[in-house]
Amino acid sequence: MEMKIIGRIHTDFPTKFGIPRQSGVVAALKGRIVFETEYRNVDALRGIDGFSHLWLVWLFSGAVREDWSPTVRPPILGGNKRVGVFATRSPFRPNPIGLSSVKLERVELDTPEGPVLVVSGADLMDGTPIFDIKPYIPYADSHPEATEGFRSGGWNRMLEVDFPEELLAKVSENQREALMGVLKNDPRPSYHNDPERVYGFPFGDMEIKFMVKDKILQVVEIEVAHR
């Protein structure tokens, strides 16, 4: 069965490093969904602006492989314990398909790229192929009583961020809240805890470099490409 790519999302993450581990974790992160030429039809979006949130079905384009394993090692468990692949959201699956819930900020119908959806809370790399878009329906999709299995307790590596003013000034005002959210959620691999290591990742047109010690993330350098 052939899957058609209907569009691609554009975000501030040219690589996987730094992307929040789940959608909605950093609400300030924005993304633009641009449709492929074949699907640039405003009629396909008729009524979508009545929904506050959407489901995105997408391709783990950086994790496509021929083989698969019935077990994986989730980073949240330290990367040294195996669980069943279907008990995780690992990208290394028989079919590398991702699912994200995002907030629909607005619909832009008249752009040079055709109709565009602007969303927030996305956990996708720039250029990620989108297979489908479906409305989020609260009465059916929300389950407050749900249990979390081995993920019980949620993400417990929230950090305090030390962001020197002279470095923060290099960040565009419309990117600051999103970048702070990414840093607070500890963008390091879950099993990393080296206080002497300088980490770095691209965000938009910047390279963000930081260190983490005693639950404090310190931004040490920002390299900005020509704007």
- 95-136: pLDDT as tens digits: 999 999 999 999 999 999 999 999 999 999 999 999 999 999
Task: Give the best-scoring range by mean pLDDT among 140-154, 173-187, 191-205.
Answer: 173-187
Name 31's Cβ contacts closer than 8 Å, sequence gap at least 6: 9, 10, 11, 102, 118, 119, 120, 122, 124
Distance CA 204, CA 155 (A): 25
User: How long a stretch of residues is the chain?
Assistant: 227
pLDDT reported for residue 63: 66
pLDDT reported for residue 92: 87
Its pTM stands at: 0.91
Mean pLDDT value of segment 207-218: 96
Residue with tokens 């607070």: 184
pLDDT reported for residue 227: 57
Q: Does position 150 have pLDDT exceeding 90, yes or no?
A: no
Is the CB of residue 73 less than 8 Å from the CB of residue 17?
Answer: no
Is the CB of residue 221 less than 8 Å from the CB of residue 209?
Answer: yes
Residue 205: phi and psi, rounded to 5, are -100, 25
Average pLDDT, the chain: 92
Domains and CATH numbers, the chain: 7-61+96-141 (2.40.30.70), 160-224 (3.30.2310.20)
- 165-181: pLDDT as tens digits: 999 999 999 999 999 99
pLDDT reported for residue 138: 96
pLDDT reported for residue 144: 92
Q: Does position 78 have pLDDT exceeding 80, yes or no?
A: no
- 52-68: pLDDT as tens digits: 999 999 999 776 677 88
User: What six digits make up the tokens of 212?
Assistant: 């983490």
Q: In which band, very low, low, confident or very high, does the pLDDT at 90 lie, cut at 50, 70 and 90?
A: confident
Cα 140 to Cα 97, 125, 143: the distances in Å are 22, 28, 8
- 12-40: pLDDT as tens digits: 999 999 999 899 999 999 999 999 999 99
Cα 37 to Cα 7, 55, 110: the distances in Å are 9, 21, 14
Q: Does position 153 have pLDDT exceeding 70, yes or no?
A: no
